[in-house]
């Protein structure tokens, strides 16, 4: 699904070069749920931006769903982003004066779907996150957890191959965070590949694979043992 | 996507109505001023008879009878016998000689004795065919004599209240004239056939009367007149060196023009040979646009004002651009989000341009309204502009296009900047 091979991302200013990612290699298979952890400034967001085609890379190769993105122009990258990737942000990033339905509809507009298909997809996506009854609500009329579920519906509406989540529960209280995590697990069980950046070790333990990034490189692929393994060890 | 972009444009306008109102006002004032100025210039510099303006020639001749010619050479006014020489030529397809005068007019059948002043074009019969004068009723005269008259649309409205009044009788300067033709509304800008003496933007005439009749009635020319001989009555001008007639000829081909030029030069040579022509032979034929350029009908002050208004519009565009930049800066999160979920730079650009075009279309309405207001104010201050200050179809179209272009120019930098943002920098 996602193959990064020796990726480097270097940020240059007049006097210094900073390596956002350094000789970074990672393969994520279809259906995996990967948690990415690491200290602030380690390169997690750079990885997510490069993986999400929001940022370029300087060296290496990147195949997304078997397609090499190297050398693609903006239109090709935008189209690939629209079709293959769903983004879930920490701040939800909903447009406040659009209805829930219009927010979810946004990525579908750029795909060229018919009005009927867009309507069907919007309703299905909101159904999946349990908000089908709130199509005409404004984001401000929903709780934080509900807003994040709308953001997840927006990410899902285009049937992407992979979801990229950047601290999706970072702004939520524990109860709502739990609900969102359960939703993500359900989606993963339905076959959606998810890569989630998180600072929460417990959330990292919940998923079947985690990687730690430090100084732009993967330092430990098993830093947080899965919950089942931990329980087995304790027993 | 067009309907979606239109929907987004309307949503954006609702989000910041005050800011967009300021942009609208700023650009409307700039475009409105330019349009008002363009209206004046386009009327001044327009081709009044495009279908054959390159075939109609004003005749100027150098036939002053003595060496003491202080009038410049050649003269654009002709004496009667020179003018008749032109009339007699069979080379032009059509020709006419004429002068302007005025007379008081009333409907002879009216019980009222009140009269109104009318501008009279004393002309030979070729006038109507050469100028393509538009007839509503009747026809022009076929002789240069007779108590007949063709009246203009306004005169027909004022004296008879409109309609077909061919056959009725007018009392003009105390004489009875039969109406044989009535012109339709005729807005001739510039009025090329009498563009001298700053009359290029006068309205077309009220009355068209055969030349010989007017001379016989002793109605004096109310335009430039120069005389080398003394005279008292108009009929005397037929024989004397009195210059007051202007002549136009229609020469469809270059060969016709060359032949007619030769005809004029031969005539001058004949005068010279008989000792009546002490000056150099110099006869000129200027087509309509050459003649209007020579008369400098486009006022230099208007051209200077055009430059000033264009510069003002540029300032307005910069101001609007600055306002829109702040608007786009405030909305860069949304641009980043749209880019993240799959909008290409092209699509963001297109969305911005559609929004600017909608804004431009709204601006065009207020700008055209303001142009009308500016022109009305101009007429109020400078009544001479009354016949010039017209918003014609070309000006309206130019106003709409200019509004859309300036709105797009104003937002171009903002859209460019919005597209340059790093997508990920706006999203967390």
What is the rounded CA–CA span in Å between residue B346 and residue A81? 15
Between strands B94-107 and B116-123, the pairing is: antiparallel
Disruptive mutation site among B340, B347, B418 for chain A (greatest number of A CBs within 10 Å): B340
Peptide bond into B190 cis (omega under 30): yes
Report the alpha-carbon distance of residue B131 to residue B129 in Å, rounded: 6
Chain B residues closer than 8 Å to A154 by CB: 341
The pair of three-digit structure tokens given for residue B343, joined into one six-digit string: 């909008």
Residue B245: HSE in the Cβ half-sphere, 13 Å Cα cutoff: 30
Residue found by looking up tokens 């709308």 in the block: A150
Model confidence pLDDT, tens digit, residues B333-357:
888 899 999 999 999 999 999 999 9
The answer, for B11 touching chain A at a CB cutoff of 8 Å, is yes
CB B35 within 8 A of CB B376: no
Q: Which of A105, A195, A179 is nearest to A145 (CA)?
A: A179
Classify domain A30-56+73-234 by CATH number. 3.40.50.300
* Interchain CB distance below 8 Å, A55 and B424: yes
CB A145 within 8 A of CB A180: yes
Helix, strand, coil percent values for chain B (each to nearest 5): 50, 15, 30
Cβ separation B341–A83 shorter than 8 A: no
Q: What is the pLDDT of residues B44-57, one digit of tens each?
A: 888 899 999 999 99
CA dihedral A81, A87, A93, A97 (to 10 degrees): 60
Closest listed residue to residue B402, CA positions, set B8, B36, B20:
B36
Asked if B422 is an interface residue toward chain A (Cβ–Cβ < 8 A), one would say: yes
pLDDT at residue B176, rounded to an integer:
96
Query: In this predicted model, what pLDDT tens digit does every residue of B50-92 receive, in sequence order?
Result: 999 999 999 999 888 877 766 667 899 999 999 999 999 999 9
- Return d(Cα B300, Cα B322) in angstroms, integer: 34
Sequence-ordered list of residues with C-beta below 8 angstroms from that of B393, at least 6 positions apart, any chain: none
CB of B341 within 8 Å of any CB in chain A? yes
Domain residue ranges in chain B: 2-47+299-426, 62-282
Question: What pLDDT score was predicted for residue A96?
Answer: 92
Report pLDDT for A224. Answer: 65
Rounded CA separation A157/A121 (Å) = 6
Please give the structure tokens belonging to residue A189.
Answer: 């069980």
pLDDT by position in tens, chain A (length 235)? 889 999 999 988 888 888 889 999 999 999 999 999 988 888 888 999 999 998 889 999 999 998 999 989 999 999 999 999 999 988 888 999 999 999 999 999 999 899 999 999 999 899 888 888 888 999 999 988 899 889 989 988 888 989 999 988 888 888 888 888 888 898 899 888 999 999 888 888 888 888 889 888 888 666 665 555 555 555 5
Q: Which of B11, B341, B422 to mutate to test the interface with A (most CBs of A within 10 A)?
A: B341
**For A24-61, b where at least 16 C-beta lie within 10 A, e where not — what string?**
bebebeeebbbbbbbeeebbbbbbbbbbbbbbebeebe
Cβ neighbour number for residue B234 with a 10 Å cutoff:
21
The interface predicted TM-score of the complex, written ipTM, equals 0.88
Below-50 pLDDT ranges, chain B: none
């Amino acid at each position: 699904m996602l193959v990064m091979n020796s990726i480097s991302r270097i940020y240059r200013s007049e006097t210094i070069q900073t390596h956002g990612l350094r000789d970074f290699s990672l393969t994520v298979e279809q259906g995996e749920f990967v948690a990415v952890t690491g200290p602030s400034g380690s390169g997690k967001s750079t990885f997510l931006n490069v993986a999400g085609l929001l940022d370029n890379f300087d060296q290496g190769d990147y195949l997304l769903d078997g397609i090499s993105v190297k050398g693609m122009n903006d239109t090709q990258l935008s189209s690939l982003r629209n079709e293959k990737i769903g983004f879930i942000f920490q701040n939800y990033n909903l447009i406040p004066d659009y209805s829930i339905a219009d927010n979810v509809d946004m990525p579908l507009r750029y795909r060229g779907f018919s009005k009927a298909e867009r309507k069907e997809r919007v309703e299905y996506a909101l159904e999946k996150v349990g908000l089908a009854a709130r199509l005409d609500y404004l984001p401000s009329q929903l709780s934080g957890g509900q807003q994040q579920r709308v953001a997840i519906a927006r990410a899902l509406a285009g049937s992407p191959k992979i979801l990229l989540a950047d601290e999706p529960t970072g702004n939520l209280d524990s109860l709502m965070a739990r609900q969102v995590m359960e939703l993500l697990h359900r989606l993963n069980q339905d076959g959606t590949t998810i890569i989630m950046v998180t600072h929460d070790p417990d959330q990292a333990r919940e998923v079947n694979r985690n990687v730690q990034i430090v100084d732009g490189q993967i330092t430990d692929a098993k830093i947080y043992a899965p919950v089942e393994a931990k329980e087995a060890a304790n027993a | 996507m067009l309907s979606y972009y239109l929907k987004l444009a309307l949503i954006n306008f609702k989000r910041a109505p005050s800011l967009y109102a300021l942009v609208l006002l700023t650009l409307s004032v700039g475009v409105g001023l330019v349009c008002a100025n363009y209206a004046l210039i386009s009327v001044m510099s327009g081709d009044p008879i495009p279908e054959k303006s390159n075939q109609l020639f004003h005749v100027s001749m150098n036939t002053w009878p003595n060496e003491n010619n202080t009038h410049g050479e050649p003269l654009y006014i002709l004496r009667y016998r020179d003018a008749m020489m032109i009339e007699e030529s069979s080379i032009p397809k059509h020709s006419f000689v004429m002068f302007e005068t005025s007379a008081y007019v009333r409907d002879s059948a009216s019980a009222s004795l009140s009269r109104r002043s009318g501008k009279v074009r004393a002309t030979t019969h070729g006038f109507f065919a050469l100028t393509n004068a538009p007839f509503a009723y009747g026809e022009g005269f076929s002789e240069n004599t007779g108590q007949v008259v063709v009246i203009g649309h306004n005169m027909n409205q004022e004296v008879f209240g409109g309609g077909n009044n061919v056959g009725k009788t007018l009392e003009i300067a105390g004489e009875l004239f039969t109406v044989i033709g009535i012109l339709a509304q005729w807005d001739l800008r510039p009025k090329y056939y009498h563009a001298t003496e700053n009359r290029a933007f006068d309205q077309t005439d009220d009355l068209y009367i055969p030349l010989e009749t007017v001379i016989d009635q002793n109605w004096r020319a109310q335009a430039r007149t120069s005389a080398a001989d003394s005279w008292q009555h108009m009929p005397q001008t037929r024989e004397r060196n009195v210059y007051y007639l202007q002549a136009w000829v229609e020469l469809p081909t270059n060969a016709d023009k060359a032949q007619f030029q030769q005809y004029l030069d031969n005539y001058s040579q004949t005068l010279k040979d008989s000792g009546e022509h002490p000056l150099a032979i110099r006869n000129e034929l200027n087509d309509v646009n050459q003649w209007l350029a020579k008369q400098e009908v486009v006022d230099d002050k208007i051209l200077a004002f055009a430059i000033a208004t264009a510069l003002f519009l540029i300032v307005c565009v910069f101001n609007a651009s600055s306002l829109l930049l702040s608007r786009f800066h405030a909305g860069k999160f949304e641009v980043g989000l749209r880019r993240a979920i799959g909008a290409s730079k092209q699509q963001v650009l297109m969305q911005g341009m559609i929004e600017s075009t909608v804004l431009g279309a709204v601006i065009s309405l207020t700008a055209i309204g303001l142009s009308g207001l500016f022109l009305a104010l101009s007429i109020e201050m400078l009544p001479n502009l009354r016949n010039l200050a017209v918003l014609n179809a070309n000006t309206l179209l130019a106003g709409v296009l200019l509004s859309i272009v300036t709105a797009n120019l104003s937002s171009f930098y903002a859209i460019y900047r919005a597209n340059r943002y790093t997508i990920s920098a706006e999203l967390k």
